[in-house]
Chains A and B, each alone.
Chain A
Amino acid sequence: MLTPEEVKETLKDACINLRFHARGGQGGVTASNLCVEAYLGYGVCQPRFGAERMGSPTESFVRLSANENLVRTNEQVYIPHYVSVLDPTLLGEIDVTAGIPHGGWLIVNTVIDQITIQDIIKRKDLNIATIDATNIAMEILGRNITNTIILGSLIRVSNLFSLEELSDAIMRRFKGEIAAKNIEAIKRAIEETCIYESGETLDIAKDTKVPWQQVELGLPGYTQLDKAGVWYCDVDVIEFGSNQVKTGSWGEWDILWDKETCTDCAQCWYICPDFAIIREKGEDGLWHMKGIDIFHCKSCQNCIEVCPVKAIDKKLKQGPASCAAP
């Protein structure tokens, strides 16, 4: 770990990059904003450019340096030195360690231990910090918002800014009691963060970007694309469409379907925005409902509302993924 003095010295002619993984609605972008506001120097924050929905995996990036010219770039962040994961269910769903150099830090809101995390991420060269931010959030804030709390852990392992500097930023953004409670939660996070050091040293000045990684070699080149940019259904050139996206992990509820009560009226099938109602043609020549496609169902609950016989019900998902609540 770097001391505050070392951080200051390093940032004179280098740039520290952070990445936040969260789900839409959990405040990952707010966390990165607060870093920029807390850091006494130059900083920018970028979300991952594209569409974001409640519950979908999101990423946001922060670039901090004492040299104005170094943060002036609008390039995406390829080498994150500190990666914070606000929702532990993301560990298995996306590659949260992409681009982290040797000796980089992974900060996870979780109750599982660091050795298990090492197994999940399949890397042993990273330093890992864990914090049960969900618990702190429920106790102090009364709701599962962990974005400010994870910054406490970030302070503990990075020394990029002090608690006082972060408190100032929080008081500028939030008012009165909310600010005070957030600061109290951050203080607890600083104390309760568990640290597991891998022994590797982090070289911030080293450029470990894979040359031309933004061009994504391995995907078809322009000479291999179909005329007129058409995606033909029977040719598997481009992976496309919403059926590739695991929207099923976004939601807060499991949707339950009762076969006995269902009358096969198909109203749910018409209203489902994600084609997540599975129907099949039976031997009698009629279409019958078969169940719910949990890979794509993001639990919008339209089907529950529309069902005339109450054959569809919901159950809160287990675990912290359910915190992506509206």
Chain B
Amino acid sequence: MSIEPMKIFFKEIKEPIKTTMIGNYAVAGGVTQTDPDVICAFPITPQTQSVEGLSDVVHQGRLKAAFVNVESELAAISYSTAACAAGARAFTATASQGYLLMTEALPMAVGWRLPLTMMISARAFNSPNLSIWNSWEYTQVNSELGWNIIVSENVQETYDAAILSVMISEESLFPTIFVHDGFIISHSVQNLWLIPDETVRKMTLKKPRHTIDPSKPGTWGGIVTPSYFMEGRAKLDHEKKPALTQMKSCFDQFKTATGREYNLIETYNLDNSSKTAFITMGSMCGNIISWMTKNKDIGLIKIRAFRPFPYLELQKIVQEYNIEKLIILEKSDSLNNMLPPFSMSIASALYPLKILFRSFIVGLGGRDVTRDEFDVAKKKMQSVSDMNGPLYMYLGVRETKEKIVGVER
């Protein structure tokens, strides 16, 4: 039996098609078009329909790829990394706890400079209770390992990201994760434009690169003494430097081919009267943009590239528009007594500019983020005039049965 929404990908797509689809199947379609050789994933919870969709196109013979089900996420990432080292174009996907179980093998793809791509449907980790809903716990761990991470706002962006990730991976020879918000994007049906197969093929040509090669034997990941390890790390860092520029050139190339423009950081209405802007990423940007149709005195900075973090671009934007105050919204906390992870990146990036900011933790574990949160965050920011006192707070959480934290009613 076939999956209804995947049928559109069974035949060659010859011209741009407008269709409607959930985020997960859109990703499956995008990945299909990039012609991967190996798809390896753990097939059970916490997995998404993206690999279900891919199993369908492989089963139908549309995609000539090895579809491998494995016994855990650790096996999935190990298998994909090895396949990629052997020269295959590989894709894997996970969500929630699965990303944690992958941790041990995640640094290898970076160290070996493998253009692996992975989809993450952002969902909560279990603590203190189990939740299957959306949260950004993926920002708490593994983001410093060297994977490129791009975050999508809607179904169109996540479909495009499936293709862009392959371009970015192959261009930078660093693995790339693309993230969409679990349920909110992964299960919402939205309109999107599909790109013709031929256009995708041209954008994602398989170029020769270093691979495991029997005619050129060598040890991959062999042990080194302290005389070598640091040089190995410094070389990685040196070679990671151009990643953002490479990412940008992929965005440009994508724009030329499809007409859709993306950037490392996207801005909305920054030329506003209050010199204040929200800064966040993912599906929440859509909520803010809709809310901004009635609140025109505030702007939005949307981070598309979370890793490597485009700090110079962010500084430039803030200076150019003379932004004085930033409201950071994020769906993650970190219990570190300083700031949650996304805010830490923003704070470090903007340290030289001495900008005023406050961080608001919203929408954990699927709690909806609405106009109420934006109204209160905006109001609270109006009275902020220094960087004293606590820099973050939870918003939209019950303190008692009658009281919401930080909200006077």
Contacts and interface: CB of A to CB of B under 8 A. Distances in A.
Contact of A221 (B134, B190, B398): B398
A212 interface: yes
A144 to B, nearest CB: 20
Contact of B366 (A49, A212, A228): A49
B219 interface: no
Contact of A212 (B284, B290, B396): B396
B367 A214 contact: yes
Given A42-B191, A44-B190, A45-B189, A221 B129 contact: no
A47 interface: yes
A34 to B, nearest CB: 9
Given A36-B191, A214-B372, A74 B287 contact: yes
**Range class of the A interface residue count:** 35 or more
Nearest to B282: A74
Contacts of A56: none
Interface stretch (A65-73, A184-192, A256-264): A65-73
Given A216-B398, A217-B401, A220-B401, A72 B289 contact: yes
Contacts of A222: 397-399, 405
Contacts of B369: 75
Interface in B150-195: 154, 181, 183-185, 187-191
A285 interface: no
Contacts of B398: 215-217, 219-222
A209 B370 contact: yes
Contacts of B132: 50-51
Contacts of A242: none
Given A69-B293, A74-B286, A220-B401, A36 B396 contact: no
A92 interface: no
A66 to B, nearest CB: 13
B20 A74 contact: no
B191 A70 contact: no
Determine which residue in B287, B398, B403 has the highest number of CB atoms from chain A within 10 A of its CB, and name it.
B398
B370 A75 contact: yes
A46 interface: yes
Nearest to A225: B128
B353 interface: no
B291 interface: yes
A224 B399 CA distance: 8
B246 interface: no
Interface residues of B, number: 45
B407 A212 contact: yes
Given A43-B191, A220-B398, A222-B399, A49 B284 contact: no
Interface in B373-409: 396-405, 407, 409
Nearest to A238: B129
A73 B291 contact: yes
Interface in A176-234: 209, 211-212, 214-224, 228-229
Nearest to A60: B189
A59 interface: no
Nearest to A78: B370
A166 to B, nearest CB: 14
A76 interface: yes
Nearest to A47: B187
A47 to B, nearest CB: 6
B283 interface: yes
Given A36-B20, A46-B189, A49-B133, A224 B283 contact: no
A127 to B, nearest CB: 27
B368 interface: yes
A70 B191 CA distance: 14
B404 A219 contact: no
A214 B291 contact: no
B404 A69 contact: no
A97 interface: no
A37 interface: yes
A73 B289 contact: yes
Nearest to B370: A75
Given A49-B133, A74-B184, A74-B287, A224 B400 contact: yes
A36 B397 CA distance: 33
Contacts of B403: 221
Contacts of B289: 69, 72-73
A75 B374 CA distance: 12
A74 B368 CA distance: 9
Nearest to A207: B371
A73 B287 contact: yes
A217 B189 contact: no
A37 B286 CA distance: 20
Given A32-B189, A36-B189, A43-B191, A75 B367 contact: no
A218 B185 CA distance: 29
A156 B111 CA distance: 62
B193 to A, nearest CB: 13
Contact of A214 (B283, B396, B399): B396
A219 B185 CA distance: 28
A130 interface: no
A33 interface: yes
Interface in A1-49: 29, 32-33, 36-37, 42-47, 49
Nearest to B363: A214
Interface in B272-292: 283-284, 286-287, 289-292
A210 B219 CA distance: 63
Given A32-B189, A42-B191, A69 B400 contact: no
A203 to B, nearest CB: 16
A266 to B, nearest CB: 31
Given A46-B189, A222-B399, A228 B133 contact: no
A76 B363 CA distance: 12
Nearest to A39: B191
A43 B371 CA distance: 20
A212 B372 contact: yes
A67 B289 CA distance: 12
Q: Which 6 A-B pairs have the closest CB atoms?
A: A229-B128, A73-B290, A221-B398, A45-B189, A221-B400, A49-B183
6 contacts: A49-B366, A73-B286, A73-B291, A212-B396, A214-B367, A214-B370
Given A69-B290, A212-B404, A216-B398, 14 more contacts: A33-B189, A36-B189, A37-B20, A44-B191, A45-B188, A50-B133, A73-B286, A73-B290, A74-B154, A74-B284, A212-B409, A220-B400, A222-B397, A223-B400
Interface of B: 4, 20, 128-129, 132-134, 154, 181, 183-185, 187-191, 283-284, 286-287, 289-293, 366-372, 396-405, 407, 409
